Amino acid sequence: GNSVTQMEGPVTLSEEAFLTINCTYTATGYPSLFWYVQYPGEGLQLLLKATKADDKGSNKGFEATYRKETTSFHLEKGSVQVSDSAVYFCALSGGNTGFQKLVFGTGTRLLVSP
Amino acid sequence: SQTIHQWPATLVQPVGSPLSLECTVEGTSNPNLYWYRQAAGRGLQLLFYSVGIGQISSEVPQNLSASRPQDRQFILSSKKLLLSDSGFYLCAWNKGKNIQYFGAGTRLSVL
């Protein structure tokens, strides 16, 4: 079945450091890929998405590129801020999962210190 | 614009007690609705989804049930809570687009 694997957390960085959170997936067909963010005490918000191979999603300084050859969708940011501290979820939909259903990774907690 | 509401925000319930969590969506009609659970230290798991009134699909066998009595209302219930039902419950909706919009969640502690 479809699945998403994320790197274990927490990831601890100092402000202005470079961030990478790895995400790989297994799916049949051509899934859409997403990154969602969950700030403390809140629900999930869509951060960015990509719907086909080589697409790059971007938002708030975060980027992720849909790499079909490596089945990856790694999240990057050049300079993190304290306000980026949150849990980040990689997810996919489509393919065998069905158009409307999301399959999530386990989430990666990011802690940014001043 | 569309909004999604969940309540209550937090809930502490004894083992064996019933549960009712409510989710409503405003500003759209006939949305797809979803219930997810996030257990401590684990990722999000889809529990139920609904594509219309009275239409419920269950993703995993469990102690919970869902109902959709009205177009924009989605209810998660249990007759008798277990300790393992503790977690963070999230409701979500979408329509047409391949993006889901989440509520703020309900943190349930079963003691």
Does the pLDDT value for residue A97 go beyond 80? no
User: What would the pLDDT profile of B14-24 be if each residue is shown by its tens digit?
Assistant: 999 999 999 99
pLDDT in tens, B99-108: 889 999 999 9
Residue B9 and residue B22 in contact, taking contact as beta carbons nearer than 8 Å: no
Q: Which two tokens stand for residue B8?
A: 């209550």
B44 chain-A contacts, CB cut-off 8 A: 44, 89, 102, 104, 107
Query: CA nearest B100 in A: which residue?
Result: A46
* pLDDT tens string B34-81: 999 988 777 788 999 999 999 999 988 788 999 999 999 999 999 999
CA atoms in the 13 A half-sphere facing the CB of A113: 5
CA dist B49 and A103 (Å) reads 13
Higher-scoring residue by pLDDT: A29, A97: A29
Q: Which residue has the higher pLDDT, B81 or A41?
A: B81
pLDDT of residue A2: 84
Per DSSP, the residues of A36-89 read EEE-TTS-EEEEEEE-STT-EEEETTEEEE-BTTTTB--EEESS--GGG-EEEE
**Residue that has been written with the tokens 């975060």 in this structure:** A62
pLDDT exceeds 70 at position A99? no
Q: Is the minimum CB–CB distance between A88 and chain B shorter than 8 Å? A: no
From chain A, the residues in CB contact with B40 under 8 A are none
**Does residue A62 surpass a pLDDT of 90?**
yes
